[in-house]
Structure 1
Amino acid sequence: MAPSAIPQTPPKEVQQSDELLAAAVTKKIATTEFGSLPHLDASLLKVTKTTTPMNVPAAGDPIINTASQCTDHMITAVWNSTTGWGAPELKPYGNLSLAPTASVLHYATECFEGMKMYRGFDGKLRLFRPDCNCQRMLTSATRISLPGFDPKELEKLIIALVSVDGPKWLPEPGSFLYLRPTMIGSAGALGVAAPKECTLFVISTFMPPMDPPKGMKLLASQEGVRAWPGGFGFAKVGANYGPTLMANSEARSRGYDQVLWLLDGLVTEAGASNFLVVWETKEGKKQLVTAPLKDKIILDGVTRRSVLQLVRERIPELEIVERNFTMDELAETAKEGRVIEAFACGTAYFVAPVSQINYREKDIDIPMSKGNSGEYAGKIKQWLVDIMYGNEEHEWGVVIDEVGGLASNCLYSGDCSPTGQIIRCFMAWMICFSWSNGIDFCLHSLISDGGLFGFFR
């Protein structure tokens, strides 16, 4: 039985009411908090392209596995409480300058997102549900007292970076790069208070696949907890991650891949990923069970959300149950042979089957019916791969224009405003009509990466 401190899942209508209220509050924060101060505006993007481009690591280069090799450019934007959001910039990748008294260094006023850009098997560049990541980043920012913004504007800025660095840094079909949008309190003043200045930046880096090929082994936590009711476990803030490192190190020293986080015996997350288990009830009903979002203890994972939606649409015989459940309940179900499979999911670990859980110094083996995966995890993972890499056309797979796009349509090194774009197009057409190659060549030049738009970059 779940501890009384955390209530069982409320009726569906109550959950829907909570979701509507949360959406209304988020919208209000994003649109009215700063009154007449300038909001984050992607149309003001200033572009300065690098004059010292870096070399792309060759396949197999060890640096790829370090998650330290970034691409040529980054996005930055600065907000302060007096002037609001300044014009965002796309500029050469480089270090940030912070005062030693910056709020982020003392009070952990920061949040971030994790997402990927994918080079499809069809050659196209894609993002996977970027709107979800940008909306979640707004939720995290407001939880940590950082400024609000329109998630659509952040999405446009991310797309701008992808459209510029994607062609060079992600040429191989079936590959990906990791994207890290981040916001930090950058005001140079001590004091436990909401930062008066904030820096937004977006970078892209190589990231190795992290899901263990033979299944993930988890060590169930007996003492430490990751999050608690009334806290901030639902927000993607650094304070949710740093304190877990000691427990993760202990787990790895004992031969396990990650910690299975418990709270008063309740199963919450696996490492920094959502945890899901497929089991059969005593009545013979197959269920996909995962911790609920309502207690705000776990992260509303984009992969988790996608997994649940795909299961609802494509595996109707598998009942989705979002509720609190204990490790004792899971252990008892496994002992009775009713656990079918389990897996973790997230941007980093993707869909990672679980092969074993250590609980109270006893290893519980989790079935993997397909050798290196369970049947359901294998299906779900393949469906997601197909969407991410273009084998299946789906609204979640957002194709990125590598020719046009916000950043590549900018006049010279700076002006991405509507006026700047109009001037640029007019100049390009004037040059076209001054040549004798004909209209067909002009049209081709205007839409080619190496054509007239390339000339004005």
Structure 2
Amino acid sequence: MTVTSPSPLDASRLKLEWTKHPKPTPGPDSPEVLSMKAATDHMITVSWTSARGWDDPKLTPYGPIPVMPSAKAFHYATEAFEGMKVYRGDDGKLRLLRPIYNCNRMLASAARISLPSFEPEELRKLIRKLCEIEAPKWLPKNQGGSNLYIRPSIIGTDDSLGTSAPEEALLYIFIIHWPTPKTNAPPLRLLSNPETAARAWPGGTGAAKIGANYGPTIQMLTEAKSLGYDQVLWLFGPDREITEAGAANFFVIWRTAEGALQMVTPPLGGDQTILAGGTRRSILELSRKMFSADRSDEVASEAESCEVVERKITMTEVAQAAEDNRVQTAFVTGTAYWLQPVSEILFNGKTVASPVGQIPHMVLLREKLNNIVYGREPSPWVEVVDENRDLRCIQ
């Protein structure tokens, strides 16, 4: 008797089924785009079972997926996802920013909620393939400086209501239009949460990109928006430790008591309360090169040198620094927000003001990252996606 091991995820086995009903492409920032429902024509799906492993990946028309009402994803939140973008460069080329980082993070998120393992490199190949197929129509070469949002997801689909690891799962990838972040948009106003609410806590799932971390925050976000704020600055514990701003990482640039300029962001650490943002990582690496005392970056020469520190920050510290006129600027980073300045934070009933435009550091970082993703300067962080093959000839 021959015993076969479960099949691994294999992007080379992708099967293609083309849509018979192509959709029209929406205009930039049209109502359809602003609704965040404007998906491209196709998606990729891959089924998994504990017995067989991963089936052949399939390119299919974008549409509903068959999932039973008792599927574990609906009842026990066994679902993880990623957020990334594909960028159309000024030179017409298509680029991804550090895609393997997102694929590794999705694997870690899936493992945290007992979803099946996969090879991140194979997921990266599938993401590239979907971009290769969809981008010529949905992100054409004459739209340099634009991007589309990619959402890889994995859910537990077996229909047993038992609280056990899923025996069946579905991995799928789709692409949608995303509203373009405006460089001249008003700065963000943040509302800090009360001690009776928390986004994440030590030993929890805050470091994983799973739906269970997002749904419970919507109530507080709705309250913040009703009061005229844009997002919630999530604090934790009696010392009001800063974690995240909505689904974005938080940075503050201030002067120390000795007068030195310092950029600070909360650490990832071992307490598992903060998601390891890909944009966060890029900003930290860029900042350490661009703003070091011995920097060689001519563009950043206009900016004062700045120490970059990852450490725990309390909102009380930020409020005191603002009162002492030591806060120079604050901003958030993320795939959706990119880099957006913060003008004020409501904390304990008082407004903590953060200057906008007082120093050039955030603007320089945003320009640098834009130059990288849109091909204006070379970087090992980006991957160019091939669009030359006629994939409709492949069956």
Q: Could you say which TM-score interval applies, normalised by the shorter chain?
A: over 0.9
- SS in structure 1 opposite 2:172? strand
What is the aligned-residue RMSD (CA, Å)? 1.4
- SS in structure 1 opposite 2:40? coil
Structure 1: runs of 5+ lacking an equivalent: 1-34, 414-457
- Counterpart position of 1:234: 207
Does the CA contact (< 8 Å) of 1:209 and 1:349 recur in 2? no
- SS in structure 1 opposite 2:243? strand
Does the CA contact (< 8 Å) of 2:89 and 2:374 recur in 1? yes
> In the alignment, which of 239, 243, 258 is matched to residue 283 of structure 1?
258
- SS in structure 2 opposite 1:157? helix
* Structure number with higher helix proportion: 1
Residues 169-225 of structure 1: CA distance to partner in whole angstroms, max 9, x if unpaired? 001111111000000001111111110001000000011135681200000111311
- SS in structure 1 opposite 2:169? strand
1:59, distance to aligned residue in structure 2 (A): 3.3
Structure 2: runs of 5+ lacking an equivalent: 293-304
- Counterpart position of 1:72: 41
Compared CA separation, residues 398 and 184, structure 1 to 2 (3 A): same
- Counterpart position of 1:297: 273
> In the alignment, which of 292, 317, 324 is matched to residue 329 of structure 1?
317
- Counterpart position of 1:17: none
- SS in structure 2 opposite 1:40? coil
- Higher gyration radius (CA): 1
- Counterpart position of 1:436: none
Q: Aligned ranges for residues 54-453 of structure 1 at < 5 Å?
A: 54-171=23-140, 172-210=143-181, 213-222=185-194, 223-264=196-237, 265-294=240-269, 295-316=271-292, 317-369=305-357, 374-404=359-389, 408-409=390-391, 412-413=394-395
- SS in structure 2 opposite 1:95? coil
- SS in structure 2 opposite 1:59? coil
* Separation in 1, partners of 2:200, 2:356: 29
Compared CA separation, residues 61 and 325, structure 1 to 2 (3 A): closer
User: TM-score, normalised to structure 2's length?
Assistant: 0.92
* Separation in 2, partners of 1:412, 1:142: 34
- SS in structure 2 opposite 1:55? coil
1:412, distance to aligned residue in structure 2 (A): 4.0
Does the CA contact (< 8 Å) of 2:277 and 2:334 recur in 1? yes
Residue identity (%): 48
* Separation in 2, partners of 1:369, 1:182: 38
User: TM-score, normalised to structure 1's length?
Assistant: 0.80
Kindly provide the amino acid, as one letter, of the partner of residue 167 in structure 1. P
Does the CA contact (< 8 Å) of 1:109 and 1:144 recur in 2? yes
